[in-house]
């Protein structure tokens, strides 16, 4: 009996060794083949252990300068290593970004799974059939008629911001842009999409939701640059991991509170809701049904609400803040924008921006788009190849992580001469017509473009027109503005300026 048991144990051990050896051999051969294919792409030499991580100066102005130099050296695609085992390809030219963005390749699990505990598998993160289903269910939330119904709210929340600017103009006080604009975009998002008012513009930058989102973005960015913390068990043992979980729990509670209040309102006033002229984003989340008459689960609704709250206020706040910075930095351009707004609103007693005014604000739109090119609110997005893909004459194997560097794309010297200059005329109709559509992709492009981009553009044009109808802005000359490149483009030191009544 003992001999039989010994033989069985020995057989199990030998089989396990053989199995592991076979798997290791397969992994080694696949890795060697993949590495050889990746190394065929142009790029800087990589360290055996650190890869190219130590070359990157950081998520600051020096890091952005490094990225621009990288684009100059390798103008269409390059490779890089995040440590010894994680290669990545970077694309930033219309010819290469187009190939990736027009494909149906999924979001990269290596990167986007780091934010899943926060926003779940909403539209930003979801892949495959789940993404297609949810995109189809949510598309009605961004229909022309729904967006039009938000214009009144956008004027209302803009007026609260203008009241704050009026106080700054009266006292001559220097104000910080990002904090005020973040409150405005959050307020607009909550009231438009969720009919939810918390008076956050008055509460100020210390609003707990804004603080939580700000810190979550920083934590995710720092974690991505530290591959040894990508393991969830290890990360949650660190102080940053515990802080990340605490903030996730809080933002989930905010979303759940909003959803719960809406469900109660619908139940209490069922007839009134059925007769509403238009449904908002949350109404559509709650009422959406697929071809099998299945709606979104409670968790799916929360995931989409968390996603839209983050993407709808934080990225828009970045774009709008940098637009104000660019215009304050260039008074001659600011005056041209003001002249356009004055002409559009000529003869009116109020500065309300009507729905029909938005397409008339052409120069305002040019100024906004050039600011989004120069400062790129979302600096990068990522995909993971499920099958081989040819990029600039080189073949990338399945499984490759690809980072579409939107900031680099918007500063590619082959596409944008003098890319660090603010020139709104780059977006005149005649210049846009000459350029590849994939040269400027602040909202991504292709099948996975941003579903809320028109909402954001309407909001930003509305508030820009209202601000410059009434005020001129000047930067604080004693304050140095420094960029901070996280999931969204921020300013490490804030943006400070003064408002002057026209």
DSSP string, 295-332: ---HHHHHHHHHHHHHHHHHHHHHHHHHHHHHHHH-HH
Indicate the average pLDDT of the chain: 90
The three-state secondary structure class of 474 is strand
Return the pLDDT at 423.
Answer: 98
Orientation of helix 151-171 relative to helix 453-470, angle to 10° = 40
Token pair 């709650």 is found at 286
User: Residue 327 pairs with which residues in a beta bridge?
Assistant: none
Return the pLDDT at 24.
Answer: 67
Whether 22 is in a domain gets the answer no
Is residue 381 within 8 Å of residue 444, measured between CB atoms? Answer: yes
Residue 12 has pLDDT above 90, yes or no: no
Residue 339 has pLDDT above 90, yes or no: yes
Average of per-residue pLDDT across 211-229: 86
Whether 20 is in a domain gets the answer no
Please give the biggest Cα pair distance in the chain. Answer: 103
pLDDT 10s digits, 467-481: 999 999 999 999 999
DSSP string, 127-175: -HHHHHHHHHHHGGGG-HHHHHHTHHHHHHHHHHHHHHHHHHHHHT--E
Return the pLDDT at 425.
Answer: 98
Whether 200 is in a domain gets the answer yes
- Measuring CA to CA, which residue among 379, 410, 380, 485 is closest to residue 60? 485
pLDDT 10s digits, 408-458: 999 999 999 999 999 999 999 999 999 999 999 999 998 889 999 999 999
Whether 4 is in a domain gets the answer no
Whether 25 is in a domain gets the answer no
Is residue 153 within 8 Å of residue 162, measured between CB atoms? Answer: no
Is residue 208 within 8 Å of residue 257, measured between CB atoms? Answer: no
Return the pLDDT at 205.
Answer: 63
Distance, CA of 210 to CA of 233 (rounded, Å) = 27
Angstrom CA distances, 313 to 137, 203, 209, 466, 486, stand at: 22, 16, 11, 19, 15
Distance, CA of 202 to CA of 246 (rounded, Å) = 25
DSSP string, 392-423: TTEEEPTT-EEEEEHHHHTT-TTTSTTTTS--
Q: Which of 136-145, 201-210, 237-246 has the lowest mean pLDDT?
A: 201-210
Whether 16 is in a domain gets the answer no
Sheet holding 175-176, edge to edge: 175-176, 496-501, 471-475
User: Residue 496 pairs with which residues in a beta bridge?
Assistant: 176
Return the pLDDT at 197.
Answer: 83
Neighbours of 173 (CB within 10 A): 10
192 CB contacts (<8 Å, ≥6 apart)?
150, 153, 154, 280, 281, 455
Neighbours of 13 (CB within 10 A): 10
Q: What's the domain range around 255?
A: 37-501
Return the pLDDT at 26.
Answer: 66
Whether 467 is in a domain gets the answer yes
Distance, CA of 229 to CA of 246 (rounded, Å) = 17
The rounded Cα 171 to chain-centroid distance in angstroms is 35
| Domain harbouring 152, CATH code | 1.10.630.10
pLDDT 10s digits, 126-161: 888 888 888 898 888 888 888 999 999 999 999 999
Average of per-residue pLDDT across 32-38: 86
Cα dihedral 119, 120, 126, 131 sign: negative
User: Residue 485 pairs with which residues in a beta bridge?
Assistant: 489
The three-state secondary structure class of 121 is coil
pLDDT band at 18 (very low <50, low <70, confident <90, very high): low
Whether 32 is in a domain gets the answer no
Average of per-residue pLDDT across 364-375: 98
pLDDT band at 202 (very low <50, low <70, confident <90, very high): confident
pLDDT 10s digits, 312-328: 888 999 999 999 999 99
Distance, CA of 309 to CA of 198 (rounded, Å) = 14
Residue 292 has pLDDT above 90, yes or no: no
Distance, CA of 464 to CA of 373 (rounded, Å) = 17
Distance, CA of 295 to CA of 161 (rounded, Å) = 37
Q: Considering the entire predicted model, what is its pTM?
A: 0.89
* Number of domains present in the structure of the chain: 1
35 CB contacts (<8 Å, ≥6 apart)?
87
Phi/psi at 326 (5° precision):
-65, -40
Better-scored residue on pLDDT, 277 or 102? 102
């Amino acid at each position: 009996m003992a001999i039989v048991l010994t033989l069985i144990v020995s057989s199990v051990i030998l089989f396990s060794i053989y199995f592991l050896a076979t798997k290791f051999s397969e992994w080694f051969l696949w890795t060697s083949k993949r590495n050889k294919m990746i190394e065929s792409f142009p790029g800087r030499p990589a360290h055996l252990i650190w890869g190219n991580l130590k070359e990157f100066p950081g998520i600051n102005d020096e890091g952005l300068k490094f990225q621009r130099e990288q684009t100059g050296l390798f103008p269409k695609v390059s490779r890089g290593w995040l440590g010894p085992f994680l290669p990545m390809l970077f694309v930033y030219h219309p010819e290469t970004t187009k190939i990736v963005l027009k494909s149906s390749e999924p979001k990269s699990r290596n990167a986007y799974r780091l934010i899943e505990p926060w926003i779940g598998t909403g539209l930003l993160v979801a892949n495959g059939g789940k993404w297609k289903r949810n995109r189809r269910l949510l598309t009605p939330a961004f229909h022309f008629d729904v967006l039009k119904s938000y214009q009144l709210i956008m004027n209302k929340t803009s007026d609260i911001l203008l009241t704050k600017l009026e106080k700054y103009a009266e006292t001559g006080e220097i104000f910080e842009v990002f904090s005020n604009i973040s409150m405005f975009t959050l307020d607009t998002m909550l009231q438009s999409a969720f009919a939810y008012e918390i008076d956050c513009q008055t509460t100020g930058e210390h609003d707990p939701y804004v603080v939580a989102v700000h810190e979550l973005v920083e934590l995710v960015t720092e974690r991505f640059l530290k591959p040894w913390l990508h393991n969830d068990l290890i990360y949650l043992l660190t102080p940053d991991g515990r802080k990340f979980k605490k903030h996730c729990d809080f933002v989930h509670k905010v979303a759940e509170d909003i959803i719960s209040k809406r469900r109660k309102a619908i139940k209490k006033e069922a007839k009134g809701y059925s007769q509403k002229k238009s449904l908002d984003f949350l109404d559509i989340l709650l009422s959406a049904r697929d071809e099998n008459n299945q709606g979104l689960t409670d968790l799916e609704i929360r995931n989409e609400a968390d996603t839209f709250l983050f993407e709808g206020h934080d990225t828009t706040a970045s774009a709008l803040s940098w637009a104000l910075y660019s215009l304050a930095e260039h008074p001659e351009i600011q005056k041209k924008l003001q002249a356009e707004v004055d002409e559009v609103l000529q003869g009116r007693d109020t500065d309300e921006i009507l729905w029909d005014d938005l397409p008339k604000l052409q120069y305002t739109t040019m100024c906004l788009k050039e600011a989004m090119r120069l400062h790129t609110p979302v600096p990068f997005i990522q995909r993971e190849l499920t099958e081989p893909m040819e990029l600039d004459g080189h073949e990338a194997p399945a499984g490759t992580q690809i980072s579409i560097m939107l900031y680099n794309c918007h500063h590619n010297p082959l596409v944008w001469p003098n890319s660090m200059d603010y020139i709104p005329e780059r977006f005149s109709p005649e210049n846009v017509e000459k350029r590849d559509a994939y040269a400027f992709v602040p909202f991504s492009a292709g099948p996975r473009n941003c579903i809320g981009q028109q909402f954001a553009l309407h909001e930003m044009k509305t508030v820009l027109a209202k601000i410059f109808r009434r005020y001129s802005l000047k930067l604080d000359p004693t304050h140095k503005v420094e960029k901070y490149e996280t999931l969204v483009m921020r300013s490490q030191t804030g943006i400070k300026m003064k408002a002057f009544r026209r």
